[in-house]
Structure 1
Amino acid sequence: MASKPPPPSPAHLLRTHGAAIKALAFSDDNERLYSGDADGTVAVTNTRTLRPVAVWKAHTDGLLGIQEWDGQIVTHGRDNKLHVWQRVQEPAAALGNSAAPLGLQTPQLCYSMDVNALNYCRFSLLPLAGASCTKECHALIAVPNLVESSFADVWTLPSRKRMHAAIGKGGRPDVPSLDGRSTNSTGIIMSMHLYETTHPHTSGRTILRLLCGYENGAVTCWGYTRTDKETSIEGIGWDALWNVRLHVESVMAMAVSRDNSFALTISADHLIGRYDIKTIEEDNADADTACTAHRTKHPGNASIDIHHDGRVCAVGGWDGKIRLYSTKSLKSLGTLEYHRTSCQAVVFARPYPASGAEGSTNTDEADDEMDEGDKVERGRWLAAGGQDQRVSLWTLMDFGGSREK
C-alpha cells in the first residue's frame, strides 16, 4: 500500500519580527513584501534575497493594514494614526548575491491622518486614474468615522480632505436577525472595501460603492446616488443598495476580487459568505439569492485573501492552519500547516505574466539575478503571518488559473 505524500512545507520562513504578525502585503511587482506586527513595527523584505531592507517603528500600537501605493507606503495602526511614508530605495548591493551586511533604512514620513481604530477595521484605498486623478486627489481612502465606528468616511489623498462623511447614517438598512426579529443595530464596521462601478445611465461616468462588513455579521453595499454634488455630509446621498446577513458572529475579514465581481467574508463561525456583486448590480438579482453562506468544518477564522485570478482563496484560521478553497464552489483544495497559533494575515503574490514575457525590452541589471522560472515561481507565493511572530512563504501549485475559458 502506497504511503501518503509528506505534507507541504513552507518554501521560506521570515523571522524579522518580535511580535505577532498583523498585516501583510506584496508590492505590485512582487519585489517587496511588507509585514506589520502587534508592536507597531513594519518590515520591508526584498523578495529576491529574503532580507529586510527596512525595519522601523511605524506606530505605537499594532498594525491594521499596509499597502504600497504610488511610490509610497500607507500604514494604518491601532494608535489611531494613518501614516504615508516615502518608499525606501533599495541599495544596489541588496539586489545582488553579496553577503555583506546592509544597513536597514527608515522611510521618510510624508504626512499623517488622525483616524478611528476602535474597531480593528483597516483602511480601503482606491487609486484614481485619468480625469479623476488631480493634483490634490490621487486616491480616495475609506476609514471608519472619527466619532461613530458604525459609520464610514472617505478622504482624498494626498490633500487629506474629507469628501464623504458618516456613510451609513442617512439610510441604515433594516437587517432581520436570525431569530426573525427586525433590528437596525448593525454594530461597528469590521471590514470595508471602496470601489467604483460604471454609471448605468451616463457613459464615461463612474459611481462610488462602499462594501461594509459589520459586527452583527451583516454585509451592506452603500452607493452614492447623488449627481449634483461630489461631496456629502451626514451620509446624505448614500443609499443601502443591498444588505445580507450570512454570519452568526461578527465579520472578521472580507476580501473582494480584483474585478469587484464578488466578495468573501469569514467570521468566528464555520461559515464563508459569498456575495455575487456582479449578478446583483448587472442582472438586478435579489441579494438574498445571490449571496450564500457555505458551511465548512472549521470555525474560528481570522484572515482571508483572494488570488488575483479570482479562482482560489486562502483562509487563515485561529488554529494556525491555512485552508485553500475554490471561490466558486468553496470546495476545499488543501490545507497548509506550519503556524501553531492564529494565522492573522494571508496574502497572495501577483501572478507573473509568463506568456509574452519573452522579448521583453527590460534591461535592468537586477533582472539578471532572477530568471523567468524564478519569477513565475515567486508569482505563485502565498505569504502568511501568525501569532508566532513568523511569516511563512508557500509556493503553490497552479490551480488552473492560467487556463482560458
Structure 2
Amino acid sequence: MAHQPPRPPDPLFVLRGSKDAVNCVKFYPSTHTEKGRLLSGSGCGEVRVWNLESRRTETVLDGHDGKSVLWVQPISNGQIISQGRDGNILTWDIGEGRRDVTTRLPSNALTFCKCDICNQGSPLVAAPGQDSEVCIIDLKSETVICGLKADKDIKKFGMPMCVKFIDESRLLIGYEAGQVALWDTSARTMLDNKQLHSEAVMCLDYSTSSKRGVSGSADDKLMCWTVSEAGLTLSAESTLTNPGISDVCIRQDDKIVASAGWDSRIRLFGWKKLKPLAVLSYHRQTIHTVDFSPPLQEFDSAQILAAGSKDKHISLWSVYNPS
C-alpha cells in the first residue's frame, strides 16, 4: 500500500465577530500577568483585540472613520499602532481597559501599501507617501525624517506595494512592476534592486538571523533571497498551484514560512529551500493576512498561526511545532 501523507490539521479554533473582511492580524505579546491576545483590523474600520483564552473580542477600537484598516502592530506594553485608508496612522493606549487615540499622523496616501515599524531605539514607521514615495516617520517626534523615491532615470518601478524594515537604516520595498529594492534610509539611497516577480509584489518578510527575505506577488511565485553587502541574491523559489499571495510570514525559529493565498488556502513551506509542506484549507474566500505567535503559555508554549480572510473569520492553527 502506498504511503499516504498525513492529513492537514483542522484549525484549533476560529474567531468570529468581525463585521467585514479581516485585512490584518498580529499577535500581541503576553506579559507575566496577562494571557496572549491577537490584534485584527477589518474593512469596516475596526481594530479588535481578541482574548485568546476566552476566544472572544476583548476591545473594539473605532478611529478610522469606517475606512478599511490595513495594518496593526503592537508598539510596547499597552500601546498599539494602526493604519487606515482614511489616510491616518493612529497610535492607541489600550492599557487597563483604555481606548485612547494618543497620536494621529497623516500618511498622505490612500494606497493599499501597509506600513511597517522598526522598534530599535526611537520607533520608526515606513509609510506610503504621495507620488510613489515611502516616508520614514519618527514616531516619538511625529516628524517625517526622509522620503524614498526611485530616481526618474531608473526603470519605472510603479507604486510601492509593501515595505519591510531590516534595521533602523535599511528598508526593503516591493514595487508594482515586480521589483524588490533595498534602501539605505540614512543616505536615502537605493542600494540594489532585483526584478523578482512578473507582477506586483504584494508582501515581504525578512529574517534577521538568517539574513534572508521572502516575497509574494500577484504572480505564481514565492521567492526567497539573501541580503548582503553585495545586495539582493535569489536563493530559492517555489511555484504555486494558483497565483496570488496577499501575505507571507516567517516563523521565529526560521523553520517555516506561511503564505496567504488569493485561492483561500494557507500554504506552509520549509524556510531553508521553500519546500512545500502542507496546504491548510478552511476559509472560503481570499486570505489577506497570516502571522505566527511567539510561544504561548495557554497553548503549552506552542507557536500558533493566525490567518484572517475576506470571509470575516480568523482561523488559528497549531502546525509543526518545535518539540
Is this a same-fold pair by TM over 0.5?
Answer: yes
Partner of 1:67: 73
Please, which runs of 5 or more residues in structure 2 have no aligned partner? none
Q: Is the 8 A contact 1:324 1:333 kept in 2?
A: yes
Deviation of 1:3 (Å): 7.7
Deviation of 1:316 (Å): 1.0
Could you say which structure has the higher helix fraction? 1
Partner of 1:385: 308
Q: Is the 8 A contact 1:300 1:317 kept in 2?
A: yes
Q: With structure 2 as the length reference, what TM-score do the two structures score?
A: 0.90
Structure-to-structure mapping, 1:46-65, within 5 angstroms: 46-59=51-64, 60-65=66-71
Question: CA separation in 2, counterparts of 1:272 and 1:155?
Answer: 30
| 4+ residue segments displaced more than 3 Å | 1-7, 171-174, 289-294
Q: Is the 8 A contact 2:49 2:57 kept in 1?
A: yes
Question: CA separation in 2, counterparts of 1:3 and 1:193?
Answer: 39
In structure 2, do the counterparts of structure 1 residues 330 and 45 end up closer, same or farther at CA, with 3 Å as the change threshold?
A: same
Does 1:76 find its partner at 2:74?
no
Partner of 1:37: 42
The one-letter code matched in structure 1 to 2:81 is: V
Structure-to-structure mapping, 1:110-189, within 5 angstroms: 110-129=102-121, 138-145=122-129, 147-148=130-131, 150-164=132-146, 166-169=147-150, 171=151, 174=154, 184-189=155-160
Q: Is the 8 A contact 1:173 1:243 kept in 2?
A: no
Partner of 1:275: 225
Structure-to-structure mapping, 1:347-358, within 5 angstroms: 347-351=291-295
Structure-to-structure mapping, 1:3-402, within 5 angstroms: 6-29=7-30, 31-59=36-64, 60-70=66-76, 71-89=78-96, 107-129=99-121, 138-145=122-129, 147-148=130-131, 150-164=132-146, 166-169=147-150, 171=151, 174=154, 184-196=155-167, 208-224=169-185, 237-259=187-209, 261-277=211-227, 280-281=228-229, 284=230, 287=232, 289-290=233-234, 292-351=236-295, 374-377=299-302, 380-398=303-321
Helix, strand or coil at the partner of 1:120:
coil
The one-letter code matched in structure 1 to 2:282 is: Y
Q: With structure 1 as the length reference, what TM-score do the two structures score?
A: 0.73
Larger radius of gyration: 1
Please, which runs of 5 or more residues in structure 1 have no aligned partner? 91-105, 130-137, 175-183, 197-206, 226-236, 353-369
Question: CA separation in 2, counterparts of 1:292 and 1:326?
Answer: 11
Deviation of 1:292 (Å): 4.8
Question: CA separation in 2, counterparts of 1:240 and 1:173?
Answer: 13
Q: Is the 8 A contact 2:85 2:111 kept in 1?
A: no
Deviation of 1:238 (Å): 1.8
Deviation of 1:239 (Å): 1.8
Overall identity of the aligned pairs, in %: 30
Q: Is the 8 A contact 2:223 2:234 kept in 1?
A: no
Question: CA separation in 2, counterparts of 1:387 and 1:121?
Answer: 17
Which stretch shows the higher mean deviation, 384-393 or 3-12? 3-12
When the two structures are aligned, how many residues end up with a matched partner? 316
Could you say which structure has the higher strand fraction? 2
